[in-house]
Amino acid sequence: MPHTTASIINQCRESGLRRTKALELLIDTLLSSPRPMTLAELSEHKNLNTQCDRATVFRLLQRLTDKAVVRRLGLHERAAYFTLLLEGRHQDFLICSECGKIEPIKAPCPVHALEREIASSTGFTELYHELEFFGICPACSK
Amino acid sequence: MPHTTASIINQCRESGLRRTKALELLIDTLLSSPRPMTLAELSEHKNLNTQCDRATVFRLLQRLTDKAVVRRLGLHERAAYFTLLLEGRHQDFLICSECGKIEPIKAPCPVHALEREIASSTGFTELYHELEFFGICPACSK
DNA sequence: ATACCTGCAAAGTCTTTGCCTTAGG
DNA sequence: CCTAAGGCAAAGACTTTGCAGGTAT
């Protein structure tokens, strides 16, 4: 079952959001990106820049984060990153401290067992994790 | 061999930093904290607030990060967190999405093997990682 | 009709820098 | 002495909000 703009919009509608042009464009844009994007990247993206205000994108991302349709990530930058929360598609990242390039890691994430253990030992609920590797990429280390 | 203010200051001196009052106070404060601290927390801390300007603390943290004496962490907040980089003392964190409380995780970190694998398969150097668990803590979930 | 959304503009929050003075080695 | 470090104040970067008008349902 592929993730489509339509199916995600439906999910939003079911959470009580209205179907607006901005929502559609935003979902489209996020879906087309292989990696998380910042608010600035999103609102300057060709899909969105003439279509809606940055504040609108901001508030949309806020609502979508509340509804667990997108996730907000730190990634160590000044700006926050956003990515669609697609079922069964957890991603960890490898980031160059020098040039800032972000790439998803292919290897399976080794943290899920610990996550369950922490959930039961601490009583935290709705647990998830964020794992990032930082280092100097080959291009920058020259 | 315990980590002391004196030993860390020596490390700084060896990296070319001068021994100043502000440096001493900052190291002291970081050393006394069980968890990472923000610039604001540091510069408002009773040790520092009357002793030196926030810009000074900022620039010190910058230099110390360069010299790998402290590490700058994301932790998903608006503000950056700083912690001493003590030999053999890697920490992962558990953070409440609701109240923001940050606690170090006791369990051994399961990521080091993957880290080595990534280093060799991607050619990244000076690799390190940051692992955070987010969820709702027992107090907030009531 | 009526909540919800949007755009615009302004205000916040945290970080970063310039410039001149102070002090470590 | 000479250069790194500090203080003060101002500028940046990114986020967040108030308000008036627009729109999905």
A33 and A102 in a single domain? The answer is no
B130 and B142 in a single domain? The answer is yes
Q: For residue A141, give the CATH number of its domain.
A: 3.30.1490.190
* pLDDT category of residue A73 using cuts at 50, 70 and 90: very high
Question: What's the pLDDT score for residue B74?
Answer: 85
The tokens for B73 are: 């962490």
pLDDT of A1 over the 70 cut: no
A33 and A72 in a single domain? The answer is yes
pLDDT of B116 over the 90 cut: yes
How many C-beta atoms surround the C-beta of residue A32 within 10 A? 11
B71 and B118 in a single domain? The answer is no
Q: How far apart are CA B18 and CA B46, in angstroms?
A: 23
User: What is the tens place of the pLDDT at every residue in B34-59?
Assistant: 899 999 999 999 988 889 999 999 99
| Total number of domains constituting chain A | 2
Q: Are B27 and B33 in contact (CB under 8 A)?
A: no
B2 and B26 in a single domain? The answer is yes
Q: How far apart are CA A58 and CA A38, in angstroms?
A: 10
Å from the B82 CA to the D1 C1' = 36
B80 and B95 in a single domain? The answer is no
B62 and B99 in a single domain? The answer is no
B2 and B57 in a single domain? The answer is yes
Q: What is residue A68's three-state secondary structure? A: coil
A8 and A23 in a single domain? The answer is yes
pTM value is: 0.91
Beta bridge partners, B37, equal B82
B53 and B98 in a single domain? The answer is no
Nucleotides of strand D lying closer than 7 angstroms to a protein CB: 4-10, 13-18, 23-25
Amino acid at B33: S
**Containing domain of residue A128, as a range?**
90-142
B58 and B15 in a single domain? The answer is yes
Of A117, A119, A133, the CB nearest to B127: A133
**Range of weakest confidence among A14-28, A55-69, A105-119, B50-64:** A105-119
Q: Are B83 and B95 in contact (CB under 8 A)?
A: no
